[in-house]
Amino acid sequence: MEEVNLEEFLLKYDFRITNDKDIPLTRVIRICLDTVGENDWIYFGLYYFDSEENIRKRLRLVLNEKILKQYISNFYYDEERKVFSIYLEDRS
């Protein structure tokens, strides 16, 4: 996988899904923090119906720079739970 930090990953990947009427909806994702706690994560939803500049402003408003600059170590979609999870790796 290409090395990418959380901010760029959230800007590149479209987490929208469509309902049965093909209307795009925003999906909530799980961001697993690189901390000692085994269940240390946050749920996050992002409104993608705007410009990249405005999306970036929102990201920086609600997530701190340390989290946004961490790299993605892994991600997967759990079909059973319908949850997309992103695992972070702090390289500082």
| C-alpha span between 72 and 7 (Å, rounded) | 10
Query: 44-70 pLDDT, tens per residue?
Result: 987 777 889 998 999 999 999 999 999
Q: Is the pLDDT of residue 35 over 60?
A: yes
Is this structure's pTM higher than 0.85? no
Counting residues of the chain whose pLDDT is more than 90, the rounded percentage is 41
Residue 28: the pLDDT is 82
Residue 24's pLDDT is 66
Q: Is the pLDDT of residue 83 over 60?
A: yes
Mean pLDDT of the chain: 85
Angle at 86 between CA 81 and CA 87, to 5 degrees: 120
Alpha-carbon distance of 46 to 29, in angstroms, equals: 9
